[in-house]
């Protein structure tokens, strides 16, 4: 439009000139802007200066706000890419260095975090968070742990894709998901762990912990089904936090911790629990599913009656590998549902398919810190491989952890540790793990603030 000026600063001057025609020199020519400025009244100068200063302040404020907001959006939402803007919405195509990680547990999350700046990373996980598994039991009785141990994927993944779905199938180049999206890969890492029903949203998971804590607080009697590491640790957390609760463990084996510790270590665990007035029923089972939802008493296979205002199932869960049975990897799934891996953690020796965590057949205790070690070995190997061809001898090898060396926490301060030639019970092995169960260290590994754990009151033992 005639008479307009796209430049805001010039526009201010034009409006000013429209009301104050330019002065002329004696020869009749318009005077220069400098002359016009000199001839302007003091009030006009102040007015013009004020408008220019105000424009500068607004411009700087707008620029600063946009910059900060843009940085925050980039930080928080870069991981959530716009799927609908793709040419082929149902297919996420490969880019030549794409690493697809199936499973967002402790191993898959760490792997995605360490690779996101080195490759095009896609994390397939039905949840929007991961949780620190060894802190789960503490979180049922201690709300200080919950917020720190359940971590949104978006907090640590700033340069990765996140597909909120489960994997339903796979071939030699594409992973199929439960939402109908096919994700192409150059490198695949399977980190699905064990089957476990978890809500998709972090807020819902936090609410589950709150409900569990409230159930325990209201209950006078608690029954724990399963005497493995999870059942023993949960019983210990409850009796240490609530000494007046009557806790009963029902275990189907002849001794506690059957598959992970020696008979001597099991005997020490049993002695500690009985000292804390925990009732332990061995060689017995209980069918919780057959009881009414509001049942307060349960009958074991031996005919004993167990009173329980609330109960927890702490039995073993199957491996999350059933979806691989109909895939090209079926021949590498053993009878126990484990993926057979080589020394580089490659599945069946395939050059571009890896597995980490509980789902592997690595001969070691299935513990979180060992799953993290596996993830770091695969991360180092993939950083080499995405750069191009790499010689076999350059790849990093995974050395399985010792079969002995298992530690079971017994509350906040005691623990039971089994070493190659002995087992230790008490505060000495308990001191090996910090009070927050390595939550702070794990958060630092993920590039997050550790959030100090100093505000939790010490309990009287």
Q: What is the pLDDT of residues 89-100, one digit of tens each?
A: 345 666 679 999
Q: Are 14 and 5 in contact (CB under 8 A)?
A: yes
Give the pLDDT score at 419: 86
Which one-letter DSSP state was computed for residue 187?
E
Hey, what are 124's tokens? 């397939």
Among the ranges given (82-86, 136-140, 324-328, 382-386), the one the predictor scored with the smallest mean pLDDT = 82-86
Higher pLDDT: 14 or 114? It is 114
The mean pLDDT value for 225-246 works out to 97
Query: pLDDT averaged over the chain?
Result: 83
Higher pLDDT: 52 or 187? It is 187
Q: Are 168 and 175 in contact (CB under 8 A)?
A: no
For the full predicted model, state whether its pTM sits above 0.85: no
Q: Is the pLDDT of residue 72 over 50?
A: no
Q: Which fold has domain 221-316+406-430?
A: FAD/NAD(P)-binding domain (3.50.50)
Where in the chain are all domains bearing CATH 3.50.50.60? 83-196+318-394, 221-316+406-430
Q: Are 352 and 187 in contact (CB under 8 A)?
A: yes
- Report CA torsion sign: 250, 251, 254, 255: negative
Give the pLDDT score at 116: 96
Give the pLDDT score at 144: 78
Strand partners, 298: 306
The mean pLDDT value for 355-383 works out to 96
Q: Is the pLDDT of residue 416 over 80?
A: yes
Q: Are 197 and 352 in contact (CB under 8 A)?
A: no
Give the pLDDT score at 449: 82
Residue 356: name the closest of 390, 388, 400 by CA.
400
Q: Is the pLDDT of residue 19 over 90?
A: no
Q: Which residues contact 263 (CB under 8 A, 6 or more apart)?
A: 255
Higher pLDDT: 129 or 34? It is 129
Give the pLDDT score at 244: 97
Among the ranges given (91-105, 150-164, 165-179, 409-423), the one the predictor scored with the smallest mean pLDDT = 91-105
Beta pairing class for 167-170 and 160-163: unpaired
What single string gives the DSSP state of each residue in 118-151? TSEEEEE-SSSEEE-GGGHHHHTT-HHHHHHHEE
Residue with tokens 């074991």: 300
Q: What is the pLDDT of residues 427-446, one digit of tens each?
A: 999 888 777 888 999 999 99
Share of the chain above pLDDT 90, in %: 66
Q: What are the DSSP E strand ranges found in 238-290?
A: 246-250, 279-281
Q: What is the pLDDT of residues 246-295, one digit of tens each?
A: 999 999 999 999 988 999 999 999 999 999 999 999 999 999 999 998 99
- Please identify, in words, the CATH class of the domain defined by 83-196+318-394: alpha beta
Q: Is the pLDDT of residue 143 over 90?
A: no
HSE (side-chain half, CA atoms, 13 Å) at 113: 25
Q: Is the pLDDT of residue 392 over 60?
A: yes
The mean pLDDT value for 402-421 works out to 86
Around Cβ 340, how many Cβ atoms within 10 Å? 17
Q: Is the pLDDT of residue 365 over 90?
A: no
């Amino acid at each position: 439009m005639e008479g307009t000026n796209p430049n805001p600063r010039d526009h201010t001057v034009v409006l000013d000139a429209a009301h104050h025609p330019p002065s002329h020199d004696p020869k009749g020519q318009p005077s220069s802007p400098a002359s016009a400025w000199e001839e302007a009244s003091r009030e006009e100068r102040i007015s013009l200066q004020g408008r220019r200063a105000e424009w500068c302040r607004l411009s700087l404020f707008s620029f600063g706000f946009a910059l900060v907001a843009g940085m925050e959006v980039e930080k928080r939402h870069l991981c959530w890419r716009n799927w609908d803007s793709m040419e082929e919405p149902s297919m996420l195509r490969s880019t030549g260095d794409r690493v697809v990680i199936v499973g967002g547990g402790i191993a898959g999350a760490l792997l995605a975090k360490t690779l996101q700046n080195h490759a095009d990373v896609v994390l397939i996980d039905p949840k929007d968070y991961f949780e620190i598994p060894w802190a789960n039991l503490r979180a049922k009785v201690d709300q200080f742990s919950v917020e720190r141990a359940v971590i949104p994927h978006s907090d640590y993944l700033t340069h990765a894709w996140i597909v909120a779905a489960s994997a339903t199938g796979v071939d030699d180049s594409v992973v199929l998901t439960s939402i109908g999206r096919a994700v192409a890969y150059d490198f695949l890492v399977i980190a699905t762990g064990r089957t476990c029903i978890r809500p998709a949203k972090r807020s819902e998971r936090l609410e589950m912990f709150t409900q569990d804590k409230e159930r325990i607080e209201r209950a006078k009697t608690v029954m724990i089904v399963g005497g493995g590491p999870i059942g023993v640790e949960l019983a210990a957390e409850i009796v240490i936090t609530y000494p007046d609760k009557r806790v009963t463990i029902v275990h189907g084996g002849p001794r506690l911790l059957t598959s992970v510790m020696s008979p001597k270590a099991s005997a020490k665990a049993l002695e500690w629990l009985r000292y804390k007035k925990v009732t332990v029923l061995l060689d017995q089972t209980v069918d919780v599913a057959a009881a009414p939802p509001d049942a307060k008493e349960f009958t074991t296979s031996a005919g004993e009656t167990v009173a329980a205002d609330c109960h927890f199932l702490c039995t073993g869960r199957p491996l999350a590998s059933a979806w691989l049975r109909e895939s090209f990897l079926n021949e590498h799934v053993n009878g126990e549902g484990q993926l057979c891996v080589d020394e580089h953690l490659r599945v069946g020796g395939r050059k571009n398919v890896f597995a980490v965590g509980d789902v592997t057949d690595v001969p070691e205790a299935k513990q979180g810190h060992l799953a993290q070690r596996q993830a770091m070995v695969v991360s180092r190997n993939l950083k080499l491989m995405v750069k191009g061809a790499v010689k076999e001898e350059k790849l990093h090898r995974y050395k399985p952890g010792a079969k002995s060396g298992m530690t079971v926490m017994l509350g906040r301060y005691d623990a039971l540790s089994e070493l190659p030639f002995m087992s230790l019970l008490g505060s000495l092995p308990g001191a090996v793990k910090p009070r927050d169960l390595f939550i702070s260290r794990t958060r630092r590994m993920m590039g997050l603030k550790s959030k100090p754990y100093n505000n939790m009151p010490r309990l009287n033992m």
